[in-house]
Chain A
Amino acid sequence: MNNRLQLVVVPATALLAACAPQGQDPRRQAGPNPWLPEPRQFLLPPMSVPKAIGWKAGESPHVPAGLKVQALATGLMHPRIVYGLPNGDILVVESNGPGTVPFRPKDYIQGPIKARGGAKAKGGNRITLLRDANGDGVPELRTVFIDHLHSPYGVVLVGDTFYVASTDALLAFPYTPGATSIPGKGLKIADLPAGPINHHWTKSLTASPDGSKLYVGVGSNSNITENGLDVEQGRAAIWEVDRATGAMRVFASGTRNPTNLAFEPTTHQLWAVVNERDEIGPDLVPDYLSSIRRGGFYGWPYSYWGQHVDVRVHPQMPNLVATAIKPDYALGSHVAALGVTFSAGQSLAPAFANGAFVGEHGSWDRWPLNGYKVVFVPFVNGHPNGMPVDVLTDFLGPDHKSVHGRPVGVALDRTGALLVADDVGNVVWRVSAAKARPTA
């Protein structure tokens, strides 16, 4: 028995001693062919969560030369998504998860650590409307647009119908241009996977350019199937909803947490930002920005970045893994990309004319911290081309031990300014050209 003991105890101790590896330079994991180290299993997976301290008056994140940043709205309740209506009104979805029952002893440890970074703050469960008619970045009007929602996230306007993806249902509200509030609970178009566990609660939403289809991103109900496969029905997938009939089907699967969706304007191709799995190392697995093919399978849970098998899943599915699509563009491990929107011309600067803005909420299980900024991924001919460029940075405090705010959803307003929801600072930031430029 002594030998058997040694077999287990010695490697276990060695593992514990070497349990806090440093993450490598994130730039090694940006682009179409990220560096991927060997996966590791930990006794104590690294957790590094900076303390949420908010912004003092006059403080703001940093923009590169030629741009300016201002707070469009402050004092919000956990703003996650910003959305520009055609008349220039700006909607802010204030929301947080509905809470989930602790299932395992680790939930009692990880929960409070993440709460330190502001992750458990109460969401407003509402949508606020901001009207900045003269486009100076100072709204003249602020009203509650829709109230009493159940953890809303994605929103989209198609014609005269405003859709809200709350955590358990896709809702439709009648909209008239210029409306500053919509009463009522809305019409339920479809149930969305929720339930008592509801691990990844956000339901992202967009519409096809012709307005005939809606696309709903539904995250997995676990990190890597630790809550069983039964609760993953319909999850880790992007659903397509036919607006005319209400029929729903899975458009693509294996996307662990498709936190935001957007159509690329030149090719009319659906793209998503997807958050990948945790706890196999500080440099695994890169979150990604990818075009999403109809019927495509993107790996989760069985594999990542194509055919890299995840040994934590049992039973395994080699036949399915063989079909897994490699995503188009890695953003970096644990950056937690939550927002994506495509640029529309040179409203900010010529360098940002063609590509995607990505809001990176920031890592919790990696040191050095990763993400906590908004980046721009340049596109050429409808595909990413080149390294990500920093657009909005310095959300973190000195030494990265504290955090002022964390970027989430991104959108362009009518003037082409970039709006960024900050769910820890409770601010919507507006990034615009320092000198006024003619709008496209």
Chain B
Amino acid sequence: MATRSQAARRRFLLHPPFVAMGGTLLIAAFFTDYNYLSSSLFQWANFSAWLITAGLVLALISAIFLFIDLLIGGAGRIRWVDFAILALAVILSIFNALVHSRDAWTSVVPDGIALSAITAILLLVAAFRGWTVTGDHLPGDGGAA
């Protein structure tokens, strides 16, 4: 099905590295939340707050580079399923950043860690789908090239 010109397709996209970095930080926030749940040590909750904030900053950078990727062209079509997964993760993380701005135990338990867990599951799916919002096929599909 590789009928569209592969030559016009860029080998490297700008947005996936930033999606990967931001996504990794947001996944990590689930683990720091879990450590806070297990230990009650406040520094784990602080780590979570910073990881979520940094993850959201990278999400903003990712969105800018996605826009640039589309502007340059040759990025392939938008994969709306991946876009929706990532957008949902970002929306949940915005709520989660606000929950984590509370003080002490209830900044994590129960709302914070629940949001972190759902976000982490969404982002693991996004990771296995290649941390990308554009392109015609999933990595490991084989055959296309």
Contacts and interface: CB of A to CB of B under 8 A. Distances in A.
Interface residues of B, number: 28
A56 interface: no
A224 B32 CA distance: 20
A16 interface: yes
B40 interface: yes
Nearest to B109: A314
B102 A1 contact: no
Interface in A221-264: 222-228
Given A104-B46, A105-B97, A314-B109, A224 B115 contact: no
B104 A224 contact: yes
B78 interface: no
Interface in B24-51: 40-43, 45-46, 49-50
A125 B39 CA distance: 40
Given A104-B46, A225-B42, A226-B42, A312 B98 contact: no
Interface string A312-324: 1111000000000
B42 A227 contact: yes
B99 to A, nearest CB: 7
Given A279-B102, A314-B109, A1 B118 contact: yes
Interface in B99-144: 99, 101-107, 109, 111, 114-115, 118, 121
Nearest to A314: B105
Contacts of B98: 16, 43-44
Contact of A8 (B42, B50, B101, B114): B114
A contact face: mostly helix, strand, loop, or mixed? loop
B92 A9 contact: yes
B contact face: mostly helix, strand, loop, or mixed? helix
23 contacts: A4-B114, A8-B95, A8-B114, A8-B115, A8-B118, A12-B95, A12-B115, A16-B95, A16-B98, A104-B101, A105-B49, A105-B53, A109-B101, A225-B103, A226-B45, A226-B103, A228-B41, A228-B43, A312-B102, A312-B105, A312-B106, A312-B107, A313-B105
Given A45-B102, A222-B103, A226-B107, 5 more contacts: A8-B92, A226-B42, A311-B105, A312-B102, A314-B40
A16 B115 CA distance: 15
A43 B41 CA distance: 22
A42 interface: yes
Given A104-B49, A104-B50, A106-B49, A223 B103 contact: yes
B103 A1 contact: no
